[in-house]
Structure 1
Amino acid sequence: MKSVFIVLLSVLSLTSFAQFKSEDSASINIAGGNTDLKTYTLKSNNAYEVNKSIYKFNGAYHYGESDSVRSAENWSLGLRYDYAFLPLTGLYFGELIEADRFSGYDRRFNTDLGMTHFFYKSDSSSLLAEAGLRYTIQKQLDNSEDKKGFKGRLFVEATEVIQENIKGKFWVEYLPNFSESEDYLLNIEPSLIIALNKTLSMKTAYLWKYDNQPTVSKSKYDYNYTLSLIANF
């Protein structure tokens, strides 16, 4: 009985230092009449923090139709572990799975390892940088040989509280290819979040994705503008 009590006490002590956060968003765009357009975007970002560790699970799904014909569909699922060995510096390890047949690939498996560092962090603003190594296995739509190789990963994110209920965020991610120098990726997203109350927020964001050597698509870049309703828990 005593051992059971000790175990329960340990679990309660661990839980008291843990914190769970979830940010879920959904956006829908439907246009009719001369133009028949439908787009749906769902995102979920979750983090469980205990002591110096953070466990993250993120998912996103985007679907679009134009004149009742599917014109866009992509999704991603990611797991990541962060460990802060210093107050502003840490290590991260993650696995990200992506799918986007309209960009020319069936699946893309990414394994990440790197470091994070906050150059500045306060209640109203922050500046975060990440640098790491990524190993990618990309499965092609035509069942040809998988594309495999190492990439670098450089990521910078800045946040600023503009007003009490308005926050701005900007991030940029650069992925150089160590095997083929011309086959690099660049992702950029500025966003603005307006808090409606303690739980709900509105977010407007513009995601720009650049692929210097696209597989089959005609354009080297994709962009997605969203106006979303966010629920924070």
Structure 2
Amino acid sequence: MVLLLIALASLIGMHNATPNPPPLPLHIELDAGVLAVTGKNDTQSINSNLDVQYDFDRNTLKVAGDYLNSSTEGVDSALHWTAGARYENEFITASRIYLDYYSEADPFIGYVQRNNEGLGYQYAIHKDSTVFWWAEIGYLHSDTNIVNRTEVFESKARFASGVAWRFDTTWSLEGELEYLFNLTYANEDLMSYEFALTSLINSKFAIRTAYIMRHMENPYQGSRDQGTTMLSLVATF
């Protein structure tokens, strides 16, 4: 009888020690917006963003991309896209190192394609259930194919910071700033910032309004500033 009780206890212990595995820590967010205006000049605008994040142990793998196109009377007036991947490792609490690679294009600013390779350090300044504030410093190497010119290779020092604030059960506000100091050429710094207001419809869908500003200290062509306002539907899985 004693041996039977020991055997039963061992089986129960083994069962409790191996619970059902938790669901995969995968997060997918997709948003898209379409605007069409008819009248004297027909105008269309399409924008979409995809963010995929997978967490394993103290590591995070992210894949992201965005696309924006605006046209008037069939002639493009704005075109921008970005696609890339990023790996992060939390080596101590609140501190992460990252390694990323992404490509981007914006012919209206003057480059057909730019390939970027970066590495750096991220620190979580404040993080709780409603606020996440972070800052990053790093190094970026860029290979840019300029419109009607040869390739340009540049080294850049990168600084970025962002905050996400959920101030209500259905409303949240996000802001992000990035500054790239050009270490290869003087007066070629880049800056961008973004603000986004999101309102939840339910657990899966939300409406997001965003404003993005990109600034080139010495643009290859066109204006130094490029501002974009977007309204889109967000789906989260």
Which of the numbers 199, 202, 212 marks the counterpart of 1:194? 199
Aligned to 2:36: 30
Runs (4+) of structure 1 moved beyond 2 Å?
Answer: 15-18
- Give the drift of 1:128: 0.5
Aligned to 1:171: 176
Which of the numbers 221, 226, 232 marks the counterpart of 2:225? 221
Aligned residues: 219
- Give the drift of 1:216: 1.4
Aligned to 2:131: 125
Amino acid at match of 1:231: A
Mapped pair 1:54 → 2:60: yes
- Give the drift of 1:72: 1.6
Aligned to 1:8: none
- Give the drift of 1:16: 3.7
Mapped pair 1:147 → 2:140: no
Aligned to 1:211: 216
Question: Which has the larger Rg?
Answer: 2
Unpaired runs of 5+ in structure 1? 1-11
Aligned-residue identity in percent:
23
Amino acid at match of 1:153: R
Mapped pair 1:230 → 2:234: yes
- Within a 5 Å distance, the mapping from 1:5-20 to structure 2 comes to 16=22, 18-20=24-26
Q: 2: distance between equivalents of 1:75 and 1:183?
A: 21
- Give the drift of 1:99: 1.1
Aligned to 1:160: 165
- Give the drift of 1:62: 0.9
Mapped pair 1:137 → 2:143: yes
TM-score, normalisation: structure 2 = 0.89
Please tell me whether the aligned partners of residues 17 and 51 of structure 1 are also in contact (alpha carbons under 8 angstroms): no
- Partner SS state of residue 182, structure 2: coil
Mapped pair 1:180 → 2:165: no
Which of the numbers 87, 91, 96 marks the counterpart of 2:97? 91
Q: 1: distance between equivalents of 2:209 and 2:221?
A: 30
- Give the drift of 1:27: 0.6
- Give the drift of 1:34: 2.1
Aligned to 1:3: none
Q: Compute the RMSD of aligned alpha carbons.
A: 1.5
Amino acid at match of 1:26: A
1:83-128 per-residue CA deviation (whole Å, 9 max, x = no partner) reads 0001210100000100111111111000010001101000100111
Q: 1: distance between equivalents of 2:56 and 2:142?
A: 30
Q: Relative to structure 1, is the Cα distance of residues 198 and 17 closer, same or farther in structure 2, using a 3 angstrom cutoff? A: closer
- Partner SS state of residue 214, structure 1: coil
1:178-207 per-residue CA deviation (whole Å, 9 max, x = no partner) reads 112310011010111101100001100100
- Give the drift of 1:154: 0.6
